[in-house]
């Protein structure tokens, strides 16, 4: 098929971007957490207009990470993209199953599909592969623009928009929620549901050899549901909170650690996992697979990649998708993209020529058989959830669970056990060594930390990059690379229909996928780093209990504060020259420690321990 | 190129509702014809539970507001009349300049007729005998007004959703190539009724030609 075998074709790109843009429009208008905050109509300054905005001349603002990942998920443009908007609402029920899962004082929740959008590229089965003529692509593109405008307007006229607006009111809590599910197939509605719903189809856009179609089945009235704002929930104390490796380095996560705080993954403490379909290929959801975290966590420890643990420290109340543990080769963190100059051509998709040839996305992903294909995992779900309900979980004690990313972030739970004089040296060492060991994990944690800290997601990965003092692996590195590449492409705009090169976004996607293997390799390492975490903890313990190098000084003599504290003996000790013998003795003690650790963990310690003995002595 | 015409369903509005109704309709149409790069602007209607979308162009917003003001002025001069506003999109064809004028020809390729039936009497009555009406039967008038408002809102929603959007999607072949980079890409005009005041309409037309939107003429 021409569209798939030749991803560089303009029509192929138009179609795939059309799917992505329509998804963006729908989710931006229905899911509060995915909403971009800029609906002001203001296009200035030009720097704020991103490449993705230029597609179909509809600037919607930054695309959330979830949407970027969905781009990779939707590997086949021939598959319909079905977006279900699901209303999670209270329902008083006498069902035993629901009552089983209902927490005290709250009704069981029910889920109802209130809207189903189907965006599809329909094409005849027999297609003659041919490249589209430029005028045809132009017409297709122009009509697509209009269709997407209509989609945008219609989303605001349907009843579900009111619910979305209510949910966007951050000063209120509600007894309902809107979540979504994107898949390439869907269960048909029951007869009763169909009778209660209306259908509307937009006129398709001719995109030879097929056409682009959007249709919606929606509930014309939502007054049947008892939707109302509720009182704000009090902060919930998680009694069975499971710590992270940072809090308890010697603790190894195992399958028995079921202490996932259920409240952190659910909507207002209610769930009915029995009613949720668990395994669904070609499906990406938010919040609907509430059973997922329970079963996922039972597989922790050992071989699964480290990023699977990321939902554990109670980060998001949306459950990760059911295929969470798969590689993140398709993940691309959104970056701050530099401003683009206004395109010279009024109607032009943001194609651009790129000097680097990149593997076509479609071919790469089409290696998987359709029926049993492995869904793409999204390591950092950030959708379908009000962040306000995350705040109780992120009170101060939980913050300390995050491993340090920079010298300014401390771990008082560890240092509290030390003598004050030794605490600073420990911390500094820990930053340098443990931070590097944690780098695979902490990128995730800090990324999540940045997520949680700010409601506005713009620039969160820039925050990640700036705050991390450790060598960057995975996300941040790729993000910096992507931003560079995006800058490169931004300078290179040409008339789209005359150029037959890869698109920038596709280039980035593909380059990221090319890096995906390296990322996946790097992600395999964290599992062994868990044991290294334990090893580091042992090292820390030994350092604390090790005898001082000098009888008259503590470890912290390099710290400025200890100088200021005015210990005369300590300050005078700075100027006593060390003898070689002392240094050699110290080296020997480190070697012993190293051997001890090696024997315990069976892994190699970072050799930097030997190379930087001066860190302890200033 | 043919000219597609769309006659929108007639709406019964009260005087104070004209502005909001026209805003909803005009902005929705223009949003679908602003094919340049725009950042959509969601606007919650002040009177109705409707959110319509503007194209984000301040010039367009200003122009539409001016037209609405003029229309309201016209309605006040011509009460109890079925009025019609015509929003037209055209192409500018420069004809060869003759010695007496620079002829600019407009080829209209799309026209929208917005039909309003402005009911002014009830309001006029109520303002005069407001006090007595309130004393007599306040609840019923409020209820009636509520029902009428809901009816209008439903009708407006139907016009927006099922007429404008439907028309915009079904008729797409007649749209000319886009001449403009950003925002409203096609030149347009909003013609007010001139059935009883021909010079009024001509004045507007002339003003359009002379002080054309800067982005109109490419």
Q: How far is A345 from chain B (nearest CA, A)?
A: 6
Q: How far is A50 from chain B (nearest CA, A)?
A: 11
From start to end of A414-566, where are the E strands?
none
pLDDT value of residue B144: 86
Q: What's the average model confidence in pLDDT over A19-31?
A: 91
For residue B37, which residues of chain A lie inside 8 Å, CB to CB? 43, 49, 53-54, 57-59, 342-343
pLDDT at B55 over 80: yes
In this predicted complex, what is the ipTM? 0.82
On the 0-12 / 13-18 / 19+ scale of CB atoms within 10 A, A524 is middle
Q: Between A and B, how many residue pairs show a Cβ–Cβ distance under 8 A?
A: 113
CA distance linking residue A304 with residue A330, whole number of Å = 18
Nearest residue of B to residue A205 by CA position?
B169
- pLDDT tens digits for B91-116? 887 766 666 666 678 889 999 999 99
pLDDT value of residue A114: 92
A558 DSSP 8-state letter: G
Q: Which of A318, A283, A313 is nearest to A79 (CA)?
A: A283
- Interface residue A195 vs chain B (CB under 8 A): no
CA of residue A83 relative to chain centroid, distance: 20
Q: 3-state class of A116 per DSSP? A: strand
pLDDT at A260 over 60: no
- pLDDT tens digits for A541-599? 888 888 777 655 444 444 444 444 444 444 444 555 678 899 999 999 999 999 999 99
pLDDT value of residue A356: 45
Residues of chain B contacting A, Cβ within 8 Å? 28, 31-32, 35-42, 49-57, 157, 160-161, 165-166, 168-170, 172, 175, 177-183, 185
- Degrees, nearest 5: CA angle A255-A256-A262: 95
pLDDT value of residue A594: 93
Fold of the domain spanning B4-208 = Cell Cycle, Spindle Assembly Checkpoint Protein; Chain A (3.30.900)
State the pTM of this model. Answer: 0.56
Residue with tokens 């001069």: B77
CA distance linking residue A237 with residue A18, whole number of Å = 44
CA distance linking residue A25 with residue B102, whole number of Å = 45
Q: What's the average model confidence in pLDDT over B8-34?
A: 92
Segment (H or E) for A397: helix A396-399
- pLDDT tens digits for A367-376? 444 444 554 5
Using CA atoms of B10, B13, B16, B20 in order, give the dihedral in degrees to the nearest 10. Answer: -50
Query: Ramachandran region of residue A566, left (φ > 0), alpha (ψ -120 to 50) or beta?
Result: left
- pLDDT tens digits for A298-348? 443 444 433 333 334 444 344 443 433 344 344 444 444 444 444 445 566
């Amino acid at each position: 098929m021409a569209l798939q075998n030749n991803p560089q074709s303009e029509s192929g790109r138009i179609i795939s971007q059309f799917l992505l843009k329509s998804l963006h429009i729908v989710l931006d208008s229905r899911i509060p957490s995915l909403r971009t905050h800029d609906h002001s109509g203001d296009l200035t300054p030009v720097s704020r207009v991103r490449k993705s905005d230029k597609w179909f001349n509809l600037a919607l603002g930054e695309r959330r990470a979830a949407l970027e990942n969905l781009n990779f998920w939707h590997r086949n443009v021939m598959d319909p993209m079905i977006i279900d908007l699901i209303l999670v609402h209270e329902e008083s029920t006498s069902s035993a199953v629901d009552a089983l899962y209902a927490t005290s004082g709250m009704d069981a929740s029910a889920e109802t599909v209130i809207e189903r959008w189907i965006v599809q590229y329909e094409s005849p089965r027999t297609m003659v592969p041919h490249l589209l003529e430029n005028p045809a692509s132009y017409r297709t593109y122009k009509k697509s623009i209009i269709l997407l405008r209509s989609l945008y307007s219609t989303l605001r006229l349907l009843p579900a928009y009111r619910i979305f607006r209510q949910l966007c009111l951050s000063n209120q809590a509600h007894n309902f929620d809107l979540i979504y599910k994107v898949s390439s197939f869907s269960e048909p509605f029951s007869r009763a549901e169909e009778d209660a719903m209306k259908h509307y189809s937009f006129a398709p856009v001719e995109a030879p050899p097929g056409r682009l179609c959007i249709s919606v089945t929606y509930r014309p009235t939502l007054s049947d549901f008892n939707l109302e704002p509720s009182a704000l929930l009090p902060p919930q104390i998680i009694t069975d909170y499971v710590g992270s490796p940072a809090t308890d380095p010697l603790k190894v996560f195992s399958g028995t650690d079921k202490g996932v705080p259920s409240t952190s993954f659910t909507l207002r403490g209610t769930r009915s996992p029995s009613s949720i379909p668990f395994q669904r290929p070609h499906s990406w959801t938010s919040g609907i697979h509430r059973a997922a975290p329970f079963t996922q966590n039972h597989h922790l420890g050992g071989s699964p990649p480290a990023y699977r643990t990321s939902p554990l420290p109670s980060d998001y109340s949306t459950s990760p998708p059911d295929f969470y543990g798969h590689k993140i080769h398709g993940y691309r963190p959104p970056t701050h993209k530099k401003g683009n100059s206004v395109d010279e051509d009024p109607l032009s998709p943001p194609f651009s020529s790129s000097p680097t040839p990149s593997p076509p996305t479609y071919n790469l992903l089409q290696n998987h058989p359709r029926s049993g294909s492995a869904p793409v995992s999204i390591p950092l779900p950030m959708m379908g959830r009000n962040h306000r309900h995350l705040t109780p979980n992120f009170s101060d004690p939980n913050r300390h669970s995050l491993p340090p990313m920079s010298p300014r972030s401390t771990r008082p739970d560890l240092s509290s056990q030390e003598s004050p004089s030794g605490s600073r040296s420990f911390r500094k060492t820990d930053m340098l060594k443990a931070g590097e060991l944690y780098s695979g994990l902490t990128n995730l944690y800090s990324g999540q930390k940045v997520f949680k800290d700010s409601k506005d997601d713009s620039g969160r990965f820039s925050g990640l990059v700036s705050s991390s003092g450790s060598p960057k692996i995975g996300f941040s590195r790729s993000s910096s690379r992507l931003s560079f590449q995006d800058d490169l492409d931004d300078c290179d705009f040409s008339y789209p229909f005359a150029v037959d090169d890869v698109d920038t976004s596709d280039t980035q996607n593909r380059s990221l996928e090319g890096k995906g293997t390296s990322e996946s390799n790097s992600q395999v390492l964290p599992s062994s780093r868990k044991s290294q975490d334990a090893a580091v903890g042992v090292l820390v313990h030994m350092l604390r209990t090790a005898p001082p190098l000098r009888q008259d000084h503590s470890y912290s003599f390099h710290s400025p504060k200890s100088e200021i504290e005015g210990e005369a003996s300590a300050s005078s000790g700075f100027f006593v020259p060390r003898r070689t013998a002392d240094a050699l003795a110290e080296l020997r003690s480190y070697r012993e420690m190293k051997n001890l650790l090696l024997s315990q963990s069976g892994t190699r310690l970072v050799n930097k321990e030997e190379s930087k003995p001066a860190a302890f002595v200033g | 190129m043919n000219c597609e015409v769309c006659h929108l369903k007639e709406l019964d509005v009260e005087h104070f509702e004209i502005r909001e109704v026209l805003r909803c309709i005009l902005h929705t149409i223009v949003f679908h014809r602003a094919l340049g790069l725009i950042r959509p602007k969601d606007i919650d209607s002040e009177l109705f539970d409707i959110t319509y979308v503007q194209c984000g162009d301040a010039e367009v917003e200003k122009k539409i507001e001016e037209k609405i003001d003029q229309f309201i002025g016209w309605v006040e001069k011509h009460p109890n009349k079925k009025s019609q506003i015509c929003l037209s999109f055209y192409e500018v064809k420069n004809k060869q300049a003759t010695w007496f004028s620079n002829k600019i020809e407009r080829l209209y390729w799309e026209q929208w007729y917005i039909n309003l039936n402005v009911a002014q009497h009830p309001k006029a009555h109520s303002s005069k005998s407001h006090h007595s009406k309130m004393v007599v039967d306040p609840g019923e008038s409020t209820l009636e007004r509520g029902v009428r408002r809901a009816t209008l809102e439903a009708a407006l929603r139907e016009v927006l959703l099922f007429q404008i959007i439907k028309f915009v999607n079904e008729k797409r072949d007649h749209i000319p190539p886009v001449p403009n980079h950003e925002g409203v890409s096609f030149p347009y005009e909003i013609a007010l009724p001139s059935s009883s005041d021909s010079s009024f309409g001509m004045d507007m037309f002339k003003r359009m030609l002379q002080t054309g939107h800067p982005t109109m003429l490419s």
